[in-house]
Amino acid sequence: MHETFKGRIFLKINTSDEHPLLKEIESQNSQPLEVNAICDKIFALYVEEFFKVTNKQYFIFLVKFVTLFRECINNFRKSEDPNLDYTQNETSDNVPDLCNEFITEFMENNDNFGLDPNEVIETIQHFCYWLYENKFTSSRLTLLG
């Protein structure tokens, strides 16, 4: 995925091995996180938790989704520390607030990065519900129809 989209995203890293989220996933140790944990740790926990209950094809989709959502967040939010991405330095409390931008500005402007838009929307809903249920956000995602 890194090589495919390097010109559009992943501007600060040269190889996928350098990606902060992938490093966080590799270091995940199945320990419960505090509610004020940083986004990258929470995102890695989400990936780890659902690795155990999904098939390989869906797991690959899930990693792509989380990675793209992370990149979107870092596109729209800036860290107080200029040496770190927002997701490396901030909690996930405001993550659900960026769902519309993720779909309309980030995904649609990039041909959904080859992902099924309906599946992305369902996964956003699940991810935000999971964040809320685990007390990593106080925001509830609401769909308007």
Per-residue DSSP letter, 104 = I
| Euclidean distance between CA atoms 17 and 37, whole angstroms | 23
Q: Where are the domains of the chain?
A: 2-133
Q: Whole-prediction pTM value? A: 0.84
pLDDT 10s digits, 19-55: 677 777 777 666 678 889 999 999 999 999 999 899 9
Output the CA angle 100-125-68, nearest 5 degrees.
Answer: 60
Q: Report helix, strand or coil for 54.
A: coil
Contacts of 38 (CB under 8 A, 6+ apart): 87, 88, 89, 90, 91
pLDDT 10s digits, 59-99: 999 999 999 999 999 999 999 999 999 999 999 999 999 99
